[in-house]
C-alpha cells in the first residue's frame, strides 16, 4: 500500500470519527461530556481534512489529537463495552493513528 493511500485512509477514518462524534452530540446533547464530544468531533474533521494535503504537520496532529481524545475519554468514561459508540470511536482513531505512524516511518526510511 502506498503512502498516499495510507494517508487517505487515515483522513477518511478521522472524518468518519468526527462525524460520529457530532452525531453523538446531537443524539444526547444534554448528557454529561457532550460539549467535549462535539469539540473533538469538529477537531477530528479538521485534522481529517488536513490529511488530504501533502504537508507533514497533519500527520503529527492525527497522532497527537486522537491520543489526547482517547486518554480523556478513558479517564472520563472508562473502558467502553465492545459493542458501543465509544468503542467504535476508539477503533477508528487507533487505526488512523497506526496509519499515521506508518506514514512517518515510511517517510523517514525514504529520506
| Distance set, CA 58 to CA 5, 11, 12, 109 (Å) | 15, 9, 13, 19
C-alpha grid cell, residue 44: 477530528
| Distance set, CA 36 to CA 12, 14, 89, 106 (Å) | 21, 16, 14, 33
Task: Note the pTM of the prediction, 2 decimals.
Answer: 0.86
* Residues 6 and 99: beta-carbon distance below 8 Å: yes
Q: What is the pLDDT of residues 56-106, one digit of tens each?
A: 899 999 999 999 988 888 887 777 676 777 778 888 999 999 999 999 998
Q: What is the pLDDT of residues 2-32, one digit of tens each?
A: 889 999 999 999 999 999 999 989 988 787 7
Q: What percent of the chain has pLDDT over 90?
A: 54
Amino acid at each position: 500500500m502506498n503512502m498516499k493511500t495510507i494517508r487517505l485512509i487515515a483522513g477518511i477514518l478521522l472524518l468518519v470519527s468526527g462525524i460520529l462524534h457530532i452525531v453523538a452530540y446531537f443524539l444526547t446533547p444534554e448528557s454529561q461530556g457532550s460539549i467535549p464530544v462535539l469539540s473533538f468531533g469538529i477537531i477530528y474533521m479538521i485534522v481529517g481534512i488536513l490529511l488530504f494535503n501533502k504537508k507533514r504537520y497533519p500527520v503529527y496532529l492525527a497522532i497527537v489529537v486522537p491520543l489526547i481524545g482517547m486518554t480523556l475519554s478513558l479517564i472520563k468514561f472508562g473502558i467502553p463495552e465492545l459493542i458501543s459508540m465509544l468503542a467504535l470511536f476508539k477503533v477508528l482513531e487507533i487505526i488512523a493513528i497506526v496509519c499515521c505512524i506508518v506514514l512517518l516511518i515510511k517517510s523517514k526510511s525514504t529520506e
